[in-house]
Amino acid sequence: MIEIKGLKKKFGRLKVLNGIDLSIKEGLTTAILGPNGSGKTTLIKSILGMVRPSEGVILLNELPVIGTWKYREQIGYLPQIARFPENLSVKELISFVENLRSQSGDYLKLVEMFGLKESLNKKLRFLSGGTRQKVNLLLTFMFNCPLYILDEPTSGLDPVALLNLKDHLAQLKHEGKTILITTHIINIVEEVSDELIFLLEGNIFYKGSYQGLMKGQKEENLEKAIAKILKGNHVENSEI
């Protein structure tokens, strides 16, 4: 579904992506991990067209995305930090986003799922951080898209909302949707991902199953395997 070839990005003298070659298959849930500054967000924003690469090619369903915008209608995107117009109510924000996309969103079941019924008529400036994240999720999932890109989707969620999110991701996967997730929550990776990509200093350090990463680091715990990488060890038997 997504093919990336020779992707590089510099911000001034700072090299953020150093020639990424990556294939993301349709219908899989792929977790993108890496320490702060590894290039995760830049990679995602390059796919979305929010960052223009210095070099390289990005293909979505075999069509180039750089310099175009129509393809974004196929993507549901959840930013790590959502900035909403504070003077709008949740219901007004939903209508605003529907008008931007020129299509109606199926949001009623999401209102029920994330317990937002009592918040629909509240101004966004009065919502807690966790409730704002639920609104963020609703806006992401209310359109039927073949591809969803989620940047830290679990941030601020209570246990019930987190469980409902996991169930919804499982349902989307059952429907054949392609999902990209960046997260620091390791158990999310273990529970929902089919594939793991580990970025380090703008390069793909590992691509494969999380079990393969654990095996390569000779650890029985994914968190410990990642910690070992960050301390300077190397993966054996990488599935790249």
Q: What is the pLDDT of residues 163-184, one digit of tens each?
A: 999 999 999 999 999 999 998 8
**Residue 231 pLDDT grade (very low, low, confident, very high; cuts 50, 70, 90):** confident
Number of domains in the chain: 1
Tokens of 95: 């209508």
The residue segments making up the domain with residue 16 are 2-208
Residue 199 pLDDT exceeds 70: yes
Place of tokens 């993966």: 235
In a domain, 222, yes or no: no
More confident site: 67 or 199: 199
Q: What is the pLDDT of residue 134?
A: 96
E strand or H helix that includes residue 16: strand 14-24
Any domain includes 218:
no
Residue 229 neighbours by CB distance under 10 Å: 22
Q: Pick from 233, 230, 240: which is nearest to 36 by CA?
A: 230
CATH number of the domain encompassing residue 10 = 3.40.50.300
Average pLDDT over residues 136-160: 94
- Asked whether residue 240 is domain-assigned, the answer is no
**What pLDDT score was predicted for residue 80?**
86
Residue 138 pLDDT greater than 60, yes or no: yes
Q: Which two tokens stand for residue 179?
A: 């999902």
Classify residue 227: in a domain, yes or no: no
How many Cβ atoms are within 10 Å of 10's Cβ, its own excluded?
A: 14
Predicted local distance difference test score (pLDDT) of residue 77: 95
pLDDT per residue as tens digits for the range 23-46: 999 999 999 999 988 999 999 999
Say whether pLDDT at 59 is over 50. Answer: yes
* Residue 220 domain flag: no
Residue 238 has pLDDT above 70, yes or no: no
pLDDT reported for residue 19: 95
Determine the 3-state secondary structure of 70 from DSSP: helix
* In-domain check, residue 142: yes
Say if residues 89 and 120 touch (Cβ distance below 8 Å).
Answer: yes
Q: Which of 201, 171, 203, 169 is nearest to 185 (CA)?
A: 169
Whether residue 215 lies inside any domain: the answer is: no
Please indicate, yes or no, if residue 239 is contained in any of the structural domains: no
Q: What is the pLDDT of residue 239?
A: 44
- Which whole number is the average pLDDT over 81-89? 90
DSSP state of 238: -
